[in-house]
Amino acid sequence: MTEIQQLSGDRPVAIVGAGLVGAGWAIVYARAGLAVKMFDANPQTTAKAIPLIEGQLAGLRRHGLVHEDPATILARITPVATLAEAVDGACYVQESVLERVDVKRQLMTDLDALAAPDLIVGSSTSGIPGSAFALGLGISPRVLIAHPVNPPYLVPVVELVPSAQTSAATVAFADALMRAVGQTVVHVRKEVEGFVLNRLQAVLLREAWALVQEGVASSEDIDKTVRDGLGWRWSFMGPFETIDLNAPGGVADYAARLGPLYQRIAESRTHEQPWDDELIRQVEAQRREHLAHAELETRRAWRDERLMEFAARRAPARTE
Amino acid sequence: MTEIQQLSGDRPVAIVGAGLVGAGWAIVYARAGLAVKMFDANPQTTAKAIPLIEGQLAGLRRHGLVHEDPATILARITPVATLAEAVDGACYVQESVLERVDVKRQLMTDLDALAAPDLIVGSSTSGIPGSAFALGLGISPRVLIAHPVNPPYLVPVVELVPSAQTSAATVAFADALMRAVGQTVVHVRKEVEGFVLNRLQAVLLREAWALVQEGVASSEDIDKTVRDGLGWRWSFMGPFETIDLNAPGGVADYAARLGPLYQRIAESRTHEQPWDDELIRQVEAQRREHLAHAELETRRAWRDERLMEFAARRAPARTE
């Protein structure tokens, strides 16, 4: 028995909500050898997910990111017609339904009625804390947030965020499951707005928009600053390791040297909204100079190819 | 005559300040085929720079990042004993002396007395605006900031920041020179604290420190969030292109969808100093769990190897 079979008790995983995010998760679990049942309240969504998954598996195979025949992996994914069928016998539900509190609350109530007493539920929400929709039910101790980056079969990070009622055993199970399927687990210990990943992205973006607004730099030059500068180290080290290596004495030395500058930078920003309509029009125009609206889709395919190449290069490096 | 020979009028470039940054710049210019004269007020610094450059050139050669014999490149770099020798006949000075206003001001005064009437001066300063040390001299219109990321022969971005007195012709020359030697130019149009690159790094780091302080996540988990999540796209796209591709309708669509969340995240932060001594001790302890103080130097060599690999992979991609 493999680690993952032991962990799952050889039971399937259920995907509830089969849009882009749910389909991406189906690939993660099926690639790892698990049986996957896939349900969406809209049967057309499930029907669309299957060819999408097929296409992505072909790409993964081409880049050496899966070692089995894509058809073998696809055969592990079974679309089902009802929520009851999806959760029947499942060890884990990956919830990726609409980002609305009422929709998620209704699903938790339904799962509470249907689920086996040991079923664990992970929600893919990027912005709604579990305490907003998963409290006060029998199932509440077994619900947490498992927020991926899209697409999760390429970019491995997943944020685990317990609600006020999530049990420690649930966090431990989700941690073990995510690691077993190849994800990188980040533990978010408080339900803060945006969790960790979107908070970090938000502060950088907010400063970037403000710099354009003030005429300090164009959006293209800001992209260059990150793409040909800051982003290199961050793509294999992260910000703390970066600064730890950037001062002779390590991170404390760095903090002593650069803390005052960083504080001055922070104090030079107010909380005024930098995304007004005029600014958005300006950045939209700058972007469209570089990429026409009609080319967005082609460029997304280019991005996905780059991400596959990136993942292929990272795969061996991660075992170092 | 090559583009770079035309641009330089076949005249050398002078490196003034031969520490890590100056030595890095010497590699950039010599690799591009330019004659380089290298001066430091402390002759021992220049003497140390030569073997450092030799070692780096060997690494660049190993990774296929230079196509000439390292000895040929090294032979273009001539240490000189005086500032007058360095600037004699030079088309451009790359200033990388100590990060102190008085030291830089003295150098500008000296250059003003020595320099040919068409000599351009780029300062490597990461934090001092040109208006603080380069105004009111005959040479002032020909001085600007050319701030690199370390090491500049691997990470291509360079921020060009004119002072209140820098001429447009100086900016145009520096832009052309930087492009000709393979750097990526970012135009910073106002002298803001930290320019663009350090502002973007600062806001992300500040949020990262605050998240550790509040017990939301460990420094290691924050590193994972960037290294295995956010950093992937940023290493080949930059933040604006990332969000432009992340909403069906492009960047304006993204702003409409996520603006409110980002504003809430911004409003949840105050300007209180997050880098207090207790927090610094805590992060220092977290980092030392992963990397002992004695291993910092080994890990820096590991980082430099990763950066060389990264540069080698990017070299062909940049021509797309």
pLDDT at A317: 44
- The residue ranges of DSSP E strands in A35-183, in sequence order, are 36-39, 77-79, 92-95, 120-123, 143-148, 157-162
Q: Give the angle subtended at the CA of A294 by the CAs of A289 and A295, to the nearest 5°.
A: 70
CA-nearest residue of chain B to A292?
B250
Nearest CB among B239, B252, B269 relative to A226 is that of: B239
The answer to whether the Cβ–Cβ distance between A229 and B149 falls below 8 Å is yes
Tell if the CB–CB gap between A262 and B184 is shorter than 8 Å.
no
Q: Do the Cβ atoms of B192 and A238 come within 8 Å?
A: no
Please state the φ and ψ torsions of residue B310, each to the nearest 5 degrees.
-60, -45
% of chain A beyond a pLDDT of 70:
97
* Mean pLDDT rounded to a whole number for chain A: 93
**Considering only alpha carbons, which residue of chain B is nearest residue A275?**
B259
Q: Do you know the residue count of chain B? A: 320
Determine the longest span between alpha carbons in chain B, in angstroms: 61
Alpha carbon A117 to chain centroid distance?
Answer: 27
Please tell me if the domain spanning B3-187 has the same topology as the one spanning B198-317. no
Q: A198-317, what's its fold?
A: N-(1-d-carboxylethyl)-l-norvaline Dehydrogenase; domain 2 (1.10.1040)
- Residue B6: the pLDDT is 86
Contact A222 B240 (CB under 8 A): yes
Nearest in space to A125 (alpha carbons), one of A21, A254, A202:
A21
Question: At residue A198, does pLDDT exceed 90?
Answer: yes
Q: What's the complex ipTM? A: 0.94
Alpha-carbon distance B171 to nearest alpha carbon in chain A (angstroms)? 15
Note whether B240 contacts A208, CB cutoff 8 Å: yes
Under 8 Å CB-to-CB from A160, ≥6 apart: which residues?
Answer: A122, A144, A145, A146, A171, A174, A175, A178, A185, A186, A187, A188
The overall longest dimension of chain A from CA atoms, in Å, is 61
Chain B residues with CB under 8 Å of A243 CB are 205
CA A25-B226-A307 angle, to 5 degrees, is 55
With beta carbons less than 8 A apart as the criterion, state whether B217 and B207 touch: no
Of A197, A266, A303, the CB nearest to B271: A266
* Contact criterion met (CB below 8 Å) for A43 and A81: yes
How many angstroms separate the CA atoms of B138 and B130, rounded? 14
Mean pLDDT by 10 residues, chain B (320 residues): 84 96 97 97 96 96 95 98 97 96 98 96 95 98 96 96 98 98 97 95 93 95 96 94 90 89 82 80 93 92 91 63
Q: What is the mean pLDDT of residues A178-198?
A: 96
A120: Cα separation from own chain's centroid? 18
Amino acid at A138: G
A275 contacts on B by Cβ (under 8 Å): 255, 259, 262-263
Q: What is the pLDDT of residue A201?
A: 95
The Cα–Cα gap between B150 and A250 comes to 16
Chain A closest-CA separation from residue B310 CA (Å): 8
Rounded to the nearest 5°, which phi and psi values hold at B36? -125, 125
Closest chain B residue to A233 measured between Cα atoms? B307
Do the Cβ atoms of B196 and A271 come within 8 Å? Answer: no
Average pLDDT over residues A39-67: 95
- A99/chain B closest Cα distance in angstroms: 12
Question: What pLDDT score does A316 carry?
Answer: 53
Residue that is written with structure tokens 């999408």 in the block:
A52
Question: Rounded to whole angstroms, how far apart are CA atoms A254 and A268?
Answer: 21
Hey, which bits of A129-206 come out as E strands?
Answer: 143-148, 157-162, 184-187
DSSP secondary structure of A226-273: IIIIIHHHHTTT-HHHHHHHSSTT-HHHHHHHHHHHHHHHHHT---S-
- CATH number for A3-187: choose from 1.10.10.10, 3.40.50.720, 1.10.3720.10, 3.40.1160.10: 3.40.50.720
pLDDT at B318: 44
Residue boundaries of the structural domains of chain B: 3-187, 198-317
Q: pLDDT tens, B72-126?
A: 999 999 999 999 999 999 999 999 999 999 999 999 999 999 999 999 999 999 9
* Among A262, A147, A271, residue whose Cα is nearest residue A198: A147
Taking the CA of residue B52 and the nearest CA in chain A, the distance in Å comes to 17
From the CB of residue B121, how many other CB atoms can be counted at a distance below 10 Å? Answer: 29
Neighbours of A277 (CB within 10 A): 10
Q: Which helix (H) or strand (E) holds B38?
A: strand B36-39
Considering only CA atoms, which of B156, B132, B312 is closest in space to residue A224?
A: B156
The structure tokens listed for B193 are: 């604290």
Nearest to A216 among B190, B300, B313 (CB): B190
- Tell me how far apart the alpha carbons of residues A108 and A105 are, in angstroms, rounded to a whole number: 5
